[in-house]
Structure formats: C-alpha cells, structure tokens
Amino acid sequence: MRHIISILMENESGALSRVAGLFSARGYNIESLTVAPTEDPSLSRMTLVTRGSDQIIEQITKQLNKLIDVVKLIDLAESAHIERELMLVKVKTTEANREEIRSMTDIFRGRILDITPVTYVIEMTGPSEKLDAFIAAVDPESIIEVVRSGATGISRGEKGLHL
C-alpha cells in the first residue's frame, strides 16, 4: 500500500542523507521525497512516499524514529489528509492542438505560465494521481519535459505535526 510519511527533522547538513541512506541500506523503496525548512528555521519538514506491507511500513517508521535527527513523524495515509504535488509540464503546441491543450489545462485547473509560438509551460497542483491523469490525457508526442515536486501533505482537522 502507498504511504505518505511526513517527518519533522533537525535542519542540519547530513540529515537528508541519513534518511536516504537508511532507505537504500535496508532496501526500502522511495517513490518520492520532498524536503524544505519550516517556519522554524531549525526544523525541516520532509515528505516521503513509499510502498510496502504493513510490516515494512512499521519498520520504516521505527527505523526513521531511531535516527537522532528525526524529531517526529506521522504516516499521513493512516488518517484523513490533504495531499498535493506541484507539476510543471512543457508541451509542444501547434495550430491544431493549442486549443485542446488549453481547455484540458482548464479542466484540470492548471495554469499556463509561459507561451512561445511553439510551446506552453503548464503549472498544475493536486494529488499525485490527478497529475498522472493529466499526463495520460496529453499526447505523449507533444510532451517536452515534466517536472514534479513529489507529493507533500498535511493532516485534516485540529491535530498537526509540530514540536
């Protein structure tokens, strides 16, 4: 099953490689990983998407908690949460497809950020599967490049991951 593990960790050099190293050393899979400092500059927030059986996910969270730099973590997938990912897509445009791409971008609530006579840059946010759906809908021949941030997320309700 897919899990979104959200980690609050010390904003120190090497902290990221401790997490990445743990995953490679123990053979866990990382689907995506995103990290940036929080409102408290001494803390970073990392969001990590992984897949595995319940037993593996339990080990992953325990092993992460064992890292000295990890302050706290939660598995967002365990309760109601909001997931967002940012995607930028550069597509080739022609007379024939320009209108179609524009309307599709509207349907997916994306925005066109840059236009040249032969390209669009489209910005889109949403749960990762929505972005997957957009990519699937666009003619693969017209895609020049795709940049995705990896999923990030936050829990719904009053509870939060903080010190």
Smallest gap from Cβ 49 to another protein, in A, equals: 21
Q: Establish if 35 lies at the interface with another protein (CB under 8 A).
A: no
Smallest gap from Cβ 71 to another protein, in A, equals: 4
Q: CA 29 to CA 31: how far, in whole Å?
A: 6
Which amino acid is located at 87 in the chain? M
- DSSP annotation of 88 reads E
Per the structure block, which two tokens stand in for 9? 């960790």
Q: CA 155 to CA 77: how far, in whole Å?
A: 9
Q: Establish if 163 lies at the interface with another protein (CB under 8 A).
A: yes
Smallest gap from Cβ 45 to another protein, in A, equals: 14
Per the structure block, which two tokens stand in for 109? 């609530």
Give me the sign of the Cα torsion angle 120, 108, 32, 73: positive
Beta carbon nearer to another protein, 67 or 146: 67
Q: Establish if 96 lies at the interface with another protein (CB under 8 A).
A: no
Beta carbon nearer to another protein, 17 or 29: 17
Q: Applying CB under 8 A, which of residues 9, 74, 76, 87 lies at the interface with another protein?
A: 9
Under rule CB under 8 A, which residues in 46-75 are in contact with another protein? 55, 58-59, 62-63, 65-66, 68-72
Beta carbons of 10 and 115 less than 8 angstroms apart: no
Beta carbon nearer to another protein, 71 or 135: 71
DSSP per-residue string spanning 20-72:
HHHHHHTT---SEEEEEE-SSTTEEEEEEEEE--HHHHHHHHHHHHHSTTEEE
Q: What residues make contact with another protein under the rule CB under 8 A? A: 9-10, 13-14, 17-18, 21, 25, 55, 58-59, 62-63, 65-66, 68-72, 163
